[in-house]
Amino acid sequence: MSENYNNRLSTRYSLEPGYIYLPEKGTLVACSLGSCVVISIYDKKLNIGGLAHFLFPMTRDRDKYTPRYGNVSILTLLKMFKARGSKRRDLEAQIFGGAHRPKYFTRNIGLENVKLARRALNHFGIRIVSEDIGGEKGRVVVFNTGTNEVAILKVNDIPGYRWYPYKNIY
């Protein structure tokens, strides 16, 4: 690996559902997804990236106003970027996840999560440059916050939320 690449990568992190992460330095961030959605946002000028990992599309209930909901997590991540000095025109987004298992669930929460992510990003004027969404397969997403590079592993079965142990990703 190039010296520049190594200088921009400081650590590894597992992002659980309902959390947001915008590190100071380049970090490999791994997420395990079924119907959850992760959005990555990257600032092309500042070379910083962050993620929001949510389980449900939205809430209007102030008592449930947490990053477990897409409307809360996306807005919060954008506020974090703004606090770092980012400009909307320099941000680009990617959307991952949103699988659906009709054999086990009648409601397609994955599709609802994807639709909310698209709507919110479009509302805030953030360009979506890539998507790996839908289907019936689970995903492990590994995002490099310093380079905006992504690796995605798909599996045929999602026997439970933690279908892929984080410790074995690296």
- Arithmetic mean of pLDDT over the chain: 87
Task: For residue range 19-70, list pLDDT tens digits in order.
Answer: 999 999 999 999 989 899 999 999 999 999 999 999 999 988 888 889 999 9
pLDDT tens-digit series, residues 75-129: 999 999 999 999 999 999 999 999 998 887 889 999 999 999 999 999 999 999 9
Please report how many Cα atoms fall inside a 13 Å half-sphere around the Cα of residue 61, on the Cβ side. 7
CB 29 within 8 A of CB 55: no
pLDDT of residue 103: 80
* Contact status, residue 124 vs residue 137, Cβ threshold 8 Å: no
pLDDT at 10: 59
pTM across the whole model: 0.86
CATH 3.30.1330.200 fits 15-130, yes or no: yes
Per-domain residue ranges of the chain: 15-130
